[in-house]
Amino acid sequence: MAPYVTEFDLYEPQSADDRELPIQKIAVVGSGSWGTALARIAALNAAEKKGFDHEVRMWVREREIPGQGLLTDVINSTHVNHRYLPDVPLPHNLVAVSELADVVKDATLIVLVVPHQFLTPVLEELSKPGVLTTGARAISAIKGVEVAGAEIYTFPWLIEKKLGIPCSALGGANIAMEVAQSEFCETTIGVPSKDDAALWHAVFDSPMFRVHPIEDVAGVSLSGALKNVVALAAGFVDGMGYGGNTKAAILRIGLLEMAAFTKEFFPSSSSLTFSHHSAGVADLITTSFGGRNRKCAEAFIKTGKTFAQLEHELLKGQKLQGVATAEETYQFLHARGRTEGYPLFTKVYKISFEGMDPKSLFDDL
């Protein structure tokens, strides 16, 4: 039987003696819950697999932890990121560093995983002369989009343009704490070349975190962004007290809008990304049951508080991505005169920002 998905060849690192490739050095830019969970996997693999520098550096936005000292010192001495991934032991070859330029010094593989609203200053810093190593590659695990009027950009595209290096995308049904506790799951990497597929597969693949490389960089990145908008709709459904049938209907409609949006505005992407891969339907399911966007959207309906208040009260320093993405997506569709084509996305925006009655979610779907 023919395989139902196209996958690249897997990377088999050569032994230290006959290796032709240079040693790869991994840097992780971001240390929230997902940044720390991914850094943990990368550091475990770097310690075990041939072809990698043992030390993995992780960028930490420095802050004082009351009574304990600087966050980097606390992470490096306790080997736990108490603020964003509590109770998860981190490998000792994962080193927290507060200076971005030091994190990426000599790095050949750079994982970008900050909340999407904070990426711009990071790219400014990384694009300064001499900061990046020649031949470095990047991967974005960021879920969001950048909108400027009637234009929309994925983060891998922006990273490639700004840094002048190839950028892949990583996305899947990956709630950070579940991944960090080694519960079995899958992820998808969209890659621009076979070399990128091989390298990034080697960085992240492990028995409990299976990595599937595909060619659709834009599809993986957009799916991760747009599922956060649908997750808000799922939270609204929960907040209004409806059951599984209603939520399933919203997820089905949402998945169709995600795929249609990507096909309309990024025509080279593949519909298989949404129907077959973890970055598509699987991520939508997990996020709509266990994610932060769902949780805050449910509370938004039940309490009448603003999303900013709820983010502060419920997420303990973690960041909501879906509300900003709902606004950005709406602004883009409005600028293109295409809001009617995406009624679910449009209603999520209007309920979140314009006081629309949440029950209107179901009108004309």
Beta-carbon count within 10 A of 142 CB: 30
Residue 291 beta carbon to ligand G3P: minimum distance, rounded to whole angstroms: 3
Least separation in angstroms between CB 353 and ligand G3P: 18
Is 67 within any annotated ligand binding site? no
Binding footprint of ligand G3P on the chain (CB under 6 A): 143, 173-175, 228, 231, 283, 286-287, 291-293, 321
Give the footprint of ligand NAD on residues 296-325 (CB under 6 A): 318-319, 321
Whichever of 56 and 358 has its CB closer to ligand NAD, that residue is: 56
Among 132, 176, 214, 217, binds ligand NAD (CB under 6 A): 176
The window from 11-19, 112-120, 241-249, 333-341 that contacts ligand NAD (CB under 6 A) reads 112-120
Q: Which stretch binds ligand NAD (CB under 6 A): 21-29, 137-145, 211-219, 337-345?
A: 137-145
SS (H, E, C) the chain: CCCCCCCCCCCCCCCCCCCCCCCECEEEECCCHHHHHHHHHHHHHHHHCCCECCCEEEECCCCEECCCEEHHHHHHHHCCECCCECCCCCCCCEEEECCHHHHHCCCCEEEECCCHHHHHHHHHHHCCCCCCCCCCEEEECCCCEEEECCEEEEHHHHHHHHHCCCEEEEECCCCHHHHHCCCCEEEEEECCCHHHHHHHHHHHCECCEEEEEECCHHHHHHHHHHHHHHHHHHHHHHHCCCCHHHHHHHHHHHHHHHHHHHHHHCCCCCCHHHHHCHHHHHHHHHHHHHCHHHHHHHHHHHHCCCHHHHHHHHHCCCCCCHHHHHHHHHHHHHHHCCHHHCHHHHHHHHHHHCCCCHHHHHCCC
Q: How far is the CB of 275 from ligand G3P (least distance, A)?
A: 17
Residue closer to ligand G3P, measured from CB, 24 or 174 = 174
Q: Whole-angstrom Cα distance, residue 77 to residue 320?
A: 29
| 231 binds, options ligand G3P, ligand NAD, none, Cβ within 5 to 8 A by partner type | ligand G3P
Q: What is the CA radius of gyration of the chain?
A: 20
In the bound state with ligand G3P, the residue whose beta carbon lies nearer, of 45 and 278, is 278
Chain residues 21-40 in contact with ligand NAD, contact rule CB under 6 A:
30-35
- Residue 305 binding target from ligand NAD, ligand G3P, none, CB below 5 to 8 Å by type: none
- Choose between 286 and 352: whose C-beta lies nearer to ligand G3P: 286
Min dist. Cβ of residue 357 to ligand NAD (A) = 28
The answer to whether residue 190 forms part of the interface with ligand NAD (CB under 6 A) is no
235 is in an annotated binding site: no
- Distance of CA 71 to CAs 68, 79, 83, Å? 8, 11, 9
**Listed residue (192, 198, 182) closest to 14, CA to CA:** 198
Q: How far is the CB of 28 from ligand G3P (least distance, A)?
A: 17
Site for ligand NAD in 53-82 (CB under 6 A): 61
Q: Does 118 bind ligand NAD (CB under 6 A)?
A: yes
Residue 143 annotated as binding site: yes
The separation between the first and the last C-alpha atoms of the chain, rounded to the nearest angstrom, is 38
Q: Binding of ligand NAD at residue 358 (CB under 6 A)?
A: no
Query: How many positions of this chain bind ligand NAD (CB under 6 A)?
Result: 23
Task: List the catalytic residues.
Answer: 227
Binding-site entries for NAD(+): 30-35, 118, 176, 292, 319, 321
Which residues lie near ligand NAD (CB under 6 A)? Answer: 30-35, 61, 84, 113-116, 118, 141-144, 174-176, 318-319, 321
Binding-site entries: 30-35, 118, 143, 176, 292-293, 319, 321
Binding-site entries for substrate: 143, 292-293
